[in-house]
Amino acid sequence: MTGAEGVKTTCPYCGVGCGIAAAVQAGGSVQISGDETHPANLGRLCSKGAALAETIDLEGRLLYPEMGGERCTWDTALDAIAQNFARIIREQGPDAVAFYVSGQLLTEDYYVANKLMKGFIGSANIDTNSRLCMASSVAGHKRAFGSDTVPCCYEDLELADLIVLAGSNTAWCHPVLFQRIAHARKSNPRLKIVVIDPRRTATCDIADLHLALRSGSDAALFNGLLGYLHVNGRRDDAYIRAHTEGVEAAVNSALVSVPGADAAALQCGLDATQVQAFFDLFAATEKTVTVYSQGVNQSSSGTDKVNAIINCHLLTGRIGRPGMGPFSFTGQPNAMGGREVGGLANQLAAHMELEIPEHRARVQRFWQSPVIADKPGLKAVDMFRALGEGKIKAIWIMATNPVVSLPDADAACKALQSCEFVAVSDCVRHTDTTAYGHVLLPAAAWGEKDGTVTNSERRISRQRKFLPAPGEARPDWWIIAQVAKRMGYTHAFNYSSPAQIFNEHAALSGFENDGARDFDISGLCGLDEAAYDTLPPTQWPVVQPGSAGTQRLFGDGQFYTPLGKARFIPVTPRDPRHPVDQAYPMVLNTGRVRDHWHTLTRTGKSARLSSHTYEPYAELHPQDAEPLGIRQHDLISVTSRLGSVTLRAMLNDAQLPGNVFVPMHWNDQFAAQARVDALVHPVVDPVSGQPESKHTPVRVSAYRPRWHGFLLSRRKLALHDVSYWARARGVELWRYELAGETQPGDWSAWARALLCAPKDSENDRVAWIDYLDRGAGCYRGARLLNQRLESCLFVAPGPELPSRSWLMELFALKRALTNAERNSLLAARPLAAVEDAGATVCACFNVGRNTLLRAIQRDGLHSVEAIGQRLKAGTNCGSCIPELKALIAQTVKQCA
Ligand SMILES: Nc1nc2c(c(=O)[nH]1)N[C@H]1C(S)=C(S)[C@@H](COP(=O)(O)OP(=O)(O)OC[C@H]3O[C@@H](n4cnc5c(=O)[nH]c(N)nc54)[C@H](O)[C@@H]3O)O[C@H]1N2
Ligand SMILES: Nc1nc2c(c(=O)[nH]1)N[C@H]1C(S)=C(S)[C@@H](COP(=O)(O)OP(=O)(O)OC[C@H]3O[C@@H](n4cnc5c(=O)[nH]c(N)nc54)[C@H](O)[C@@H]3O)O[C@H]1N2
Ligand code: SF4
Ligand SMILES: [Mo]
């Protein structure tokens, strides 16, 4: 669909699923704006969506197939996969091969991969990174509803009088929904917000109540709530009788395990009055939505946490009606689509079950396939364990980077290293995972392929192509179908467009479905190419052709269990001291930062997005840091029984004492030793198999190198002799933070060896300015090329180094440096006073912390609106508003 604003498509990042208009300009650049007609965002975008144009250049792209590290033809690469898979299946059986796929595949890609593995190879060894993401929600939904159904829609957030955000840093991870909630709060004074998170996050900015509960104790809190609602006469008995089963067992289990608000407070490490306030608010508010995300799912008791939440909604009958319900926010753009096609190892397609013989027979009949998998395959963590043990001989990884994102990530490296045959489909040439691929397949990226994705409110939206695929990149569905054909399944994989695949998927959803399965989009079946192309964003189910879709589910009290009733699940909260390890006394919590996406393959390309957090860090409470001799911005080691990382210490009281928070994003492409999943234990939830990414026992210690430094360079550099480095994109430069254990004998020679480009032409005018204070252990050097700053290195014995801001601005200049600028280089600031902007807070308008502090202190701008008017900060995507408020609050408090 092309309009005046460009092609309408969907954001490739989070599960909010915002609509985007992408317009290719005359010069080839792309302009991105929010699609005002898309119901998810109505024109809004967050910082990541707004910066998409900065991430689609071809630098670092995988453009051609490769085998054994050499470029090869598509035929060679595809034959190699088909032949190796076929041979291993012949010799060892179908369970000796596996696919590891991703919630970032489009539904059509995902459908084809699942069909090939389950219906033609005949194994269910296809699992997905959604196992690390949504598996506990899926398992909790199925236990309670008999189906993996999200009953709510975004509008419920606007209709609610209470929104509970459990284990969700909505402000950073679902920013447009956060904006919708913040907006609703302004227009509805009754709306109260409760945040349940061990950390005080940016989301707490709009919270009326923040419960900083002990890590992992959510099931105790919601069990306490269930008992409280029961005891205080808040049961909706008519609803319970008509539409649910198992209430007494769940209530008894709650009353025994957590008898009352005081017991909940004790088990969760909370203040009893706060818990009481939460229970009272929940009890009194009919229109309550409970949102949950990874603080709930990524836990060894994740499924129980989900059911403890759902139990409270069932007991009060608050489900399926406007403004209420349990609402899982999905992470990836197509986490939901993956569930619909059955991309998890324990599912069949179109919400049918592997364990049910009639379902298997039905899918096989529909696919007319030679076989059908008859038992669940291996879940992600088990799959990589089996790879390491040599039970799986060949794996094909698509659209995910498991060497970074799986728990016990070093074991994943070893497993891939020892595996007989590894194929990787990715858009990027060098990732921590492509390093292990025998065959690399260049996938078409966002903007280059067509298909559909489903967002958190079950809304199916089109991703539309607006750029040609570069080099020999091909869409994932095409690559998979090519391999399937070469394995002999030509007839079943003879697709020529994603529309054909979508039609087949839609037909399967309605096949012999007399209302027994929630996922039914047969009303979208039979779309021709033109109708597929113009498909408007639609919420499933869509049973009748021409239907506008379904906003909410379960309004009729009918569920997908054998009796048609929702099930209460008795929950026994785990031991709050879990796990105990004296040698590793702290709890490692991991998650996301505002402007980065996962393993940095995309957001790491944008200078704007990299400026908010440019270095891997660990946040901890000053009370924990002090006895360890750790000061603000020191380097530290965080170590578990499995591994160790080196990071920058950020001390703040937003963490609970005893907790350390480390972002999940950094990896071997961006830092020396910051792949945090190398530390995370592969402990999984017993029901869902989802890993516990938020709770690993660790210890923390100061890391004291001999020197610290930073380096700015127009070229990407290979660093030797440094024990710590982290790199980030800047405008026209790479920024490196450095530290080393050995001092070079001659700093100046070291700097020249590192920074001199091998291919400066004879006509280039190179100049060096440097300065060494041997006694103080300081070195500063700058290299100019044709009178522009080419690179500079600053070294000191401690982490206190000059601000990088002004130097970074010089790289963006298109002209020669002035004499004054040259003379100021080694001071790292203009000798004539120009104010230093400081670290970026507003990425959209590049407004720095110091500029904001000056505006607040000196110019008396004490509201977000006033700052917005003067500096524009916070007026575009709004992602930085929580930080602006925190700066105002902090500065005003200091002045008072
Ligand atoms: N900026 C950005 N946004 C993203 C992504 C990204 O990479 N970057 N990724 C997307 C994806 S795939 C996902 S899955 C979502 C994730 O979205 P979220 O789940 O919101 O993000 P996380 O930061 O992983 O974790 C959320 C919070 O859980 C808290 N937590 C830890 N342990 C517990 C606990 O025991 N109980 C409770 N109640 N809370 C706990 C953490 O402190 C953290 O603040 O984000 C999506 N959006
Ligand atoms: N410690 C810790 N670990 C975690 C988490 C956590 O909170 N803490 N969160 C977990 C969660 S929720 C998630 S979702 C995962 C995410 O972890 P990953 O899925 O491993 O991370 P991504 O960087 O999104 O990897 C996607 C890869 O696919 C490539 N790609 C992008 N588009 C396409 C495409 O169209 N086709 C193909 N073939 N490739 C493409 C990208 O270049 C990239 O290499 O991490 C999990 N791991
Ligand atoms: S909230 Fe941001 S990242 Fe998520 S879909 Fe919308 S624009 Fe993309
Ligand atoms: Mo995720």
Phi, psi of 515 (to 5 degrees): 90, 5
Q: For residues 665 and 432, what is the distance between their CA atoms, to the nearest angstrom?
A: 12
CA of 470 to the centre of ligand 4 (A): 28
Whether 17 is in the pocket of ligand 3, judged by its Cβ within 6 Å, is yes
Quote the pLDDT of residue 119. 98
Quote the pLDDT of residue 576. 67
- How much is the average pLDDT of 39-67? 97
Banded model confidence at residue 3, pLDDT cuts 50, 70, 90: low
Quote the pLDDT of residue 891. 83
Q: For residues 379 and 422, what is the distance between their CA atoms, to the nearest angstrom?
A: 18
- How much is the average pLDDT of 741-769? 86
Ligand 2 atom nearest residue 694's Cα = 8
- How much is the average pLDDT of 377-400? 98
What residue owns the CA closest to ligand 1's atom 4? 173
Q: Is the predicted pLDDT of residue 32 greater than 60, yes or no?
A: yes
Top-confidence residue, 829 or 389: 389
285-321 pLDDT, tens digit per residue, is 999 999 999 999 999 999 999 999 999 999 999 999 9
Phi-psi region of 818 (alpha: psi -120 to 50; beta: other; left: phi over 0): beta
What's the length of the chain?
896
- How much is the average pLDDT of 533-543? 97
Q: Is the predicted pLDDT of residue 842 greater than 80, yes or no?
A: yes
Q: Which of 81, 132, 449, 479 to mutate to test the pocket of ligand 2 (most atoms within 8 A of CB)?
A: 132
Q: Is the predicted pLDDT of residue 835 greater than 90, yes or no?
A: no
Q: Is the predicted pLDDT of residue 763 greater than 80, yes or no?
A: no
Phi, psi of 10 (to 5 degrees): -125, 145
- Residue 220 is inside which H or E element, if any? helix 218-231
Top-confidence residue, 846 or 549: 549
Share of the chain above pLDDT 70, in %: 98
- How much is the average pLDDT of 513-540? 96
Lowest mean pLDDT among 419-433, 565-579, 787-801: 565-579
Mean per-residue pLDDT over the chain, rounded: 95
- How much is the average pLDDT of 864-881? 88
Quote the pLDDT of residue 820. 92
Q: Which of 11, 465, 601, 680 to mutate to test the pocket of ligand 2 (most atoms within 8 A of CB)?
A: 601
Q: What is the DSSP letter of 549?
A: B
Quote the pLDDT of residue 893. 74
Q: Output the six-digit token pair for 798.
A: 């401690």
Q: What is the DSSP letter of 876?
A: S
Whether 882 is in the pocket of ligand 3, judged by its Cβ within 6 Å, is no
Q: For residues 212 and 271, what is the distance between their CA atoms, to the nearest angstrom?
A: 9
Q: Is the predicted pLDDT of residue 49 greater than 80, yes or no?
A: yes
- How much is the average pLDDT of 535-542? 97
Q: For residues 626 and 439, what is the distance between their CA atoms, to the nearest angstrom?
A: 49
Q: Determine the 3-state secondary structure of 883 from DSSP.
A: helix
Q: Is the predicted pLDDT of residue 2 greater than 70, yes or no?
A: no
Quote the pLDDT of residue 421. 98
437-468 pLDDT, tens digit per residue, is 999 999 999 999 999 999 999 999 999 999 99
The closest alpha carbon to 525, from 539, 540, 504, belongs to 504
Please compute Rg for the chain using Cα positions: 27
Share of the chain above pLDDT 90, in %: 89
Quote the pLDDT of residue 892. 78
Contact 739, 705 (CB under 8 A): yes
Quote the pLDDT of residue 895. 57
- Residue 770 is inside which H or E element, if any? strand 766-773
Quote the pLDDT of residue 831. 77
Quote the pLDDT of residue 880. 87
CA of 19 to the centre of ligand 3 (A): 9
Q: Output the six-digit token pair for 213.
A: 């509960």
- Quickly list H helices, 331-475: 335-340, 357-367, 380-388, 402-405, 409-418
- The model's pTM is 0.95
Q: How far is CA 368 from CA 258, 365, 373, 484, 487, in A?
A: 52, 5, 14, 15, 16
What residue owns the CA closest to ligand 1's atom 17? 173
What residue owns the CA closest to ligand 1's atom 26? 168
Contact 410, 400 (CB under 8 A): no
List of long-range contacts for 355-364, beta carbons under 8 Å, 24+ apart: 362/511, 362/512, 363/118, 363/119, 363/508, 364/119
Ligand 1 atom nearest residue 170's Cα = 20
Q: For residues 33 and 55, what is the distance between their CA atoms, to the nearest angstrom?
A: 15
Banded model confidence at residue 834, pLDDT cuts 50, 70, 90: low
List residues near ligand 1 (CB under 6 A).
14, 133, 166-169, 172-173, 196-199, 201, 215-216, 218, 293-295, 299, 331-332, 589, 591-592, 594, 596-598, 694
Quote the pLDDT of residue 845. 83
Ligand 3 atom nearest residue 40's Cα = 6
State the pairing for strand pair 126-128/97-101.
parallel
Residue entry with tokens 């088909």? 82
Contact 714, 814 (CB under 8 A): no
With 0-12 / 13-18 / 19 or more C-beta atoms within 10 angstroms meaning exposed / middle / buried, residue 658 is middle
251-277 pLDDT, tens digit per residue, is 999 999 999 999 999 999 999 999 999
Strand ordering across the sheet containing 451-454:
451-454, 459-463, 538-539
Give me the half-sphere count of Cα atoms (radius 13 Å) on the Cβ side of residue 190: 13
Banded model confidence at residue 51, pLDDT cuts 50, 70, 90: very high
Q: Could you say which ligand is closest to the alpha carbon of residue 51?
A: 3
- How much is the average pLDDT of 329-344? 96
Q: What is the DSSP letter of 178?
A: H
Whether 14 is in the pocket of ligand 3, judged by its Cβ within 6 Å, is yes
363-379 pLDDT, tens digit per residue, is 999 999 999 999 999 99
Contact 616, 648 (CB under 8 A): yes
Quote the pLDDT of residue 180. 97
CA of 169 to the centre of ligand 1 (A): 6
Ligand 2 atom nearest residue 676's Cα = 1
96-114 pLDDT, tens digit per residue, is 999 999 999 999 999 999 9
- Quickly list H helices, 97-217: 107-115, 135-145, 155-159, 170-173, 175-187
- How much is the average pLDDT of 420-429? 98
Q: Is the predicted pLDDT of residue 877 greater than 90, yes or no?
A: no
What residue owns the CA closest to ligand 3's atom 4? 14
- How much is the average pLDDT of 687-695? 97
What residue owns the CA closest to ligand 2's atom 47? 405
Lowest mean pLDDT among 26-30, 675-679, 731-735: 26-30
Banded model confidence at residue 832, pLDDT cuts 50, 70, 90: low
Lowest mean pLDDT among 97-106, 211-220, 578-587, 659-668: 578-587
